[in-house]
């Protein structure tokens, strides 16, 4: 790194993006970050303050949107690297899958074309475990060699992440030759929240602590701490061995939502008094999902056990993530300290 190295981080208000920005600033990089509206600058600075950033002199904001290609070329100018976490997130109920797919795929191509035109050295794309594990049922941990099977009935968000990552690889292998690409595929992202805008994976912990659910769905998933995800992005950005590779960001063995609930109660005592102690039968949720669009979103996950390995990131880059327990408890304590738990 030199003092002139600048990184564009897209979607600066996002959970992963804001942690990437904080990590880059602490390491001495200059950072540009894009926002759909510059009215959110104060909000993003507040998020970064919670993450421990005290000096904003090396941070610059630009206005850019995934639905419009025009602003991305100037956003990428002067940058050596680009980290691209911005993408439609599964916090809304789409009327059609294209509400996820079109901006995700177009956004990736807009950013890659802009990076190529600006002479950027490497782009790190934030993809997802959803681009790896859907449409198949493995009894061994998923790895970076696996891809979601788009011939199956895939939820819109996971389909958008798969198609946008495939579009990225196709671009750099053809008209984008010479532009380096690395991809990070996070599983469910937990870890300390910086404000009210955080990963959808944290919603269950929020609901448990606030007593909004009396039981948890039978879902067993893999998780990772957002701080480790941010570190992996920076490693993938700078390590020569990361070029042309994808990396699963996961802390280890899959755990159930009931496991998470038990961790919360054992660690937080009275502060976890509202956390449920039982699982809800899946057949009940499937009936509720016929009438409740929010519950309907989780139905494809019921009964699934999707495990994943971080062996590649550890072997190639020396990445060592925190444990599930540490990520879960850090999530809960941050929600409580920020007053997000009633």
Nearest-angstrom CA–CA distance, 230 and 247: 12
Mean of the pLDDT values across residues 319-342?
Answer: 95
Quote the pLDDT of residue 200: 84
pLDDT > 70? residue 253 = yes
pLDDT at 304 over 90: no
- Residue % of the chain over a pLDDT of 70: 97
Cα-Cα-Cα-Cα dihedral of 134, 139, 141, 145, to 10°? -60
97-114 mean pLDDT = 93
Give the per-residue pLDDT at 3: 53
Residue 277 designated active-site: no
Beta bridge partners of 186: 249
Whole-angstrom distance, CA of residue 250 vs CA of residue 270: 30
Q: Does the pLDDT of residue 150 top 90, yes or no?
A: yes
Closest CA to 59 of 86, 28, 33: 33
Residue 2 has what pLDDT?
56
Cα torsion angle, 134, 135, 139, 144, sign: negative
Region 239-258 average pLDDT: 95
pLDDT value for 94: 64
pLDDT of res. 282: 82
The pLDDT-based confidence of 1 (bands split at 50, 70, 90) is low
Write down the pLDDT at residue 280.
85
Q: How does strand 220-221 pair with strand 255-256?
A: antiparallel
Cα angle: 224, vertex 228, 232; to 5 degrees: 115
| DSSP, residue by residue, 54-98 | ---TTEEEEE--TT-STTHHHHHTT-SEEEE-----TTS--SSTH
Domain contains 303: no
The structure tokens 């959110």 sit at 40
Range of the domain at 229: 6-192+225-250+309-321
Nearest to 224, CA basis, from 109, 74, 304, 328:
328
Q: Residue 233: which CATH number? A: 3.40.50.720
Q: Is the pLDDT of residue 39 over 70?
A: yes
Residue 272 counted as domain residue: no
Q: Alpha-carbon Rg of the chain, whole angstroms?
A: 19
**Position 228 pLDDT exceeds 70:** yes
Residue of 32, 116, 159, 161 with catalytic role: 161
User: What was the pLDDT predicted at 93?
Assistant: 62
Is 147 among the domain residues? yes
Q: Which residues pair with 59 in a beta bridge?
A: 31
Structure tokens at 119: 């002479």
pLDDT exceeds cutoff 80 at 90: no
Confidence of residue 30 (pLDDT cuts 50, 70, 90): very high
How many Å apart are CA 248 and CA 257, to the nearest integer?
21
The rounded distance, in Å, linking the Cα atoms of 163 and 238 is 25
Distance CA 128, CA 89 (A): 11
Give the mean pLDDT of the chain.
92
Q: Which two tokens stand for residue 103?
A: 């901006």
Q: pLDDT, tens digit, for every residue of 121-139?
A: 999 999 999 999 999 888 8
User: Residue 219: its pLDDT value, please?
Assistant: 85
293 lies in a domain? no
More confident residue, 292 or 339: 339
Q: Can you state the angle between helices 98-118 and 156-173, rounded to 10 degrees?
A: 20
Domain count, the chain: 1
Answer yes or no: is 270 within a domain.
Answer: no
81 domain residue, yes or no: yes
Whether residue 334 lies inside any domain: the answer is no
Angle at alpha carbon of residue 39, lines to 228 and 164, rounded to 5°: 45
Mean pLDDT, to the nearest integer, of 38-50?
Answer: 96
Kindly report which listed range (42-51, 154-163, 202-211, 300-309) carries the lowest average pLDDT score: 300-309
Angle, helix 324-337 to helix 257-268, in steps of 10 degrees:
60
Q: Does residue 167 lie within any of the structural domains? A: yes
């Amino acid at each position: 790194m030199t003092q002139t190295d600048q990184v564009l981080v897209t979607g600066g208000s996002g959970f992963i993006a804001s942690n990437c920005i904080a990590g880059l600033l602490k390491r001495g990089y200059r950072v540009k970050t894009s926002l759909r509206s510059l009215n959110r600058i104060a909000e993003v600075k507040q998020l970064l303050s919670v993450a421990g950033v005290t000096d904003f002199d090396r941070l610059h904001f630009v206005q850019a949107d995934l639905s419009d290609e025009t602003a991305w070329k100037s956003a990428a100018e002067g940058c050596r690297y680009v980290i691209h976490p911005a993408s439609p997130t599964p916090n809304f109920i789409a009327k059609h899958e294209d509400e996820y797919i079109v901006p995700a795929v177009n956004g990736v191509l807009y950013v890659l074309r802009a990076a190529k035109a600006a002479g950027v050295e490497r782009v790190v794309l934030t993809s997802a475990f959803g681009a790896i594990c859907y449409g198949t049922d493995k009894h061994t941990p998923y790895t970076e060699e696996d891809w979601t099977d788009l011939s199956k009935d895939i939820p819109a968000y996971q389909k958008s992440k798969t198609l946008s990552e495939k579009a990225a690889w196709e671009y750099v292998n053809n008209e984008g030759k010479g532009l380096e690409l690395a991809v990070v595929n996070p599983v469910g992202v937990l870890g300390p929240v910086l404000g009210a805008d955080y990963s959808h994976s944290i919603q269950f912990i929020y609901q448990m602590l606030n007593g909004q659910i009396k039981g948890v769905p039978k879902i067993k998933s893999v998780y990772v701490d957002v701080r480790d995800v941010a570190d992996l992005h920076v490693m993938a950005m700078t390590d020569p061995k990361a070029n042309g590779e994808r990396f699963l960001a996961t802390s280890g063995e899959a755990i159930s939502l009931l496991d998470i609930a038990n961790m919360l109660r054992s660690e937080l005592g009275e502060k976890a008094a509202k956390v449920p102690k039982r699982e809800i039968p899946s057949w009940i949720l499937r009936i509720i999902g016929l009438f409740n669009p929010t519950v309907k979103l989780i139905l494809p996950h019921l009964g699934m056990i999707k495990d994943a390995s971080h062996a590649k990131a550890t072997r190639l880059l020396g990445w060592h993530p925190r444990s599930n327990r540490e990520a879960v408890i850090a999530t809960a304590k941050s929600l409580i300290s920020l007053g997000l738990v009633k």
